[in-house]
Structure 1
Amino acid sequence: MIKYRLEITKGEPIRYISHLDFASLMQRAICRAHLPAAYSEGFNPHMKISFASALSVGVTSDAEYMDLELKKDICQPELFDKLSKALPPGVRLLKARQIDMRAKALMSIVDEASYSIVLPCQDNLNTVTEAVNKFNQTKEIVVVRETPKKRKEIEIKQYLPKAMQYNLEDNTLNISLNIKITSTGTTKPNEILDVLKNEYKLNIAVENALVCRTGLYHQGKALIDID
């Protein structure tokens, strides 16, 4: 048995597929690549792959992470070449690294994500600066998260470890932010955009926002570098 940690992208062609569909897409690519994937035992065996953090529908990513267990040894260059050729449009394999079979699960170590957001904005720079500064300086911001089964209040500033960064050019607002991922919860980029629009009165087209996850980390290090 051997385990690899993969750094992959989720690009524009597959922006709107769900996390489960993305996982299925990766499983099919592994099969096409004829990699000796390991499977769980029992009546309904599953390929032994695992991800760090589910990506919301409509969000792209420059760096998703997946662990893959193989039932027999294969060298890194061979795995990289075979899997790269089998991946569909929208997915690129950036890195592959062998890790210890006893390495902690990705979901148990990921603690932060970084995002880049691009969206239309009809305000001038002074208005944007005032709104973002107020957002950054506010100690607590509560949003309501609704699901078909419940309605829950979430305090989102606890999940923002640093100030939001931004620039405005030609009616396009570019935002960079980091979000903590904890065992008790997290927030989402769209929740933050809704606050900027509804609470701080920015004239932004949230529905047209292009959100990209640019990294996933454990204590400041990219997950590909964590054993």
Structure 2
Amino acid sequence: MRRLPRYRVKFSKDGPARYSSHLDMVRFFDRSTRRAGLPVAFSEGFNPHPKFSFAAPLPVGVAGLEEYMDMELKEYLAPDEIARRLAENLPAGYAIRGIKEVPGQAPALMSRVSRAAYRAVTAAPDSYSERALQAVIERLMSRQEIYISRQSKGKSKDVNIRPGIFRLAGSLKGHILEINMELLIGSTGNVRPEEVLRLLSGDGGIPVDPEDFRIYRTALLAEGDTGPVSLWEA
């Protein structure tokens, strides 16, 4: 059987698009590829669907600056041509950051992604200091275990998320408070950025409502031979 050409699409999702769901995004790409006249391959069966695969769903309200999708075409097109045609037909808030051909036997994106980097920003509290911010972060990261309660199928379950917080840093830049995180994501589990922000804003923490942060997912990472690498390089 002839192997179909497979392409990795790197894109961003921000502005009004960050309020669309993952299912909405799949529909947008389906519609956009049709309008662009791209020869997308479809699955077989009673309900054929385009051969798209995404790295990891993006929560509603979170912007994605480096998101990934693999797609198969029925015939070869130059990556630059695909990027041009697709960019002209995407909804507002979406932008193509790169497209390249990948080997057909390459592992699925969802099986490779293991970490995600996030940036959360908000207005800095009045008179809040860099020293106080660093003390809150150091106190949280010094803990051996961090249990939070999650709801699953109507039941509450305590989960230790500390092993999934790989990096946590913060800074004050003028009137902006910024938190940077590298968290577990993928088939082995997930740590959500809003969970970490709630911990940082808890008793004796940053005097900011966690809901006031604007969150950006800045990178999706895979485990490489010498450490985490971008999915673009994986």
Question: Into which bin does the TM-score normalised by the smaller protein fall?
Answer: over 0.9
Structure 2 counterpart of 1:78, from 76, 81, 87 = 81
Q: 1:120: Cα distance to partner? A: 3.0
Are 2:204 and 1:196 equivalent residues in the alignment? no
CA distance in 1, matches of 2:156, 2:124: 30
Aligned partners of 1:179 and 1:186 also within 8 Å: yes
Q: 1:147: Cα distance to partner? A: 4.8
Are 2:93 and 1:97 equivalent residues in the alignment? no
2:138 is matched with 133
Q: TM-score, normalised by structure 1?
A: 0.94
Runs of 4+ in 1 over 3 A off after TM superposition: none
Q: Which deviates the most, 117-126 or 60-69?
A: 117-126
Aligned partners of 2:110 and 2:186 also within 8 Å: no
- TM-aligned CA distance change 1:221 to 1:184, over 3 Å: closer
> What is the percent sequence identity of the aligned residues?
33
Aligned partners of 2:62 and 2:215 also within 8 Å: yes
Structure 2 counterpart of 1:216, from 212, 215, 220 = 220
Question: SS of 1:20's equivalent?
Answer: helix
Question: SS of 2:201's equivalent?
Answer: helix
Deviations 1:120-166 (A, max 9, x none): 3423333222211101211111111125623221211110123x111
Aligned partners of 1:117 and 1:176 also within 8 Å: yes
- TM-aligned CA distance change 1:127 to 1:161, over 3 Å: same
Q: 1:76: Cα distance to partner? A: 1.5
CA distance in 2, matches of 1:150, 1:51: 29
Structure 1 counterpart of 2:160, from 155, 162, 165 = 155
Q: TM-score, normalised by structure 2?
A: 0.91
Aligned partners of 2:56 and 2:186 also within 8 Å: no
Aligned partners of 1:119 and 1:205 also within 8 Å: no
- TM-aligned CA distance change 1:188 to 1:26, over 3 Å: same
Q: 1:184: Cα distance to partner? A: 2.9
What is the one-letter code of the residue matched to 1:222?
S
2:50 is matched with 47
CA distance in 2, matches of 1:195, 1:71: 48
CA distance in 1, matches of 2:96, 2:59: 20
Q: Give the number of aligned pairs.
A: 225
Q: 1:182: Cα distance to partner? A: 4.3
Deviations 1:83-118 (A, max 9, x none): 111111111101101011111100001111111110
List runs of 5+ in structure 2 lacking aligned partners.
none
CA distance in 2, matches of 1:85, 1:194: 39
CA distance in 1, matches of 2:85, 2:23: 23
Aligned partners of 1:180 and 1:186 also within 8 Å: yes
Structure 2 counterpart of 1:165, from 169, 172, 188 = 169
CA distance in 1, matches of 2:78, 2:129: 54
CA distance in 1, matches of 2:20, 2:206: 29
Over aligned residues, Cα RMSD in angstroms?
1.5
CA distance in 2, matches of 1:56, 1:167: 24
2:33 is matched with 30
CA distance in 1, matches of 2:196, 2:104: 38
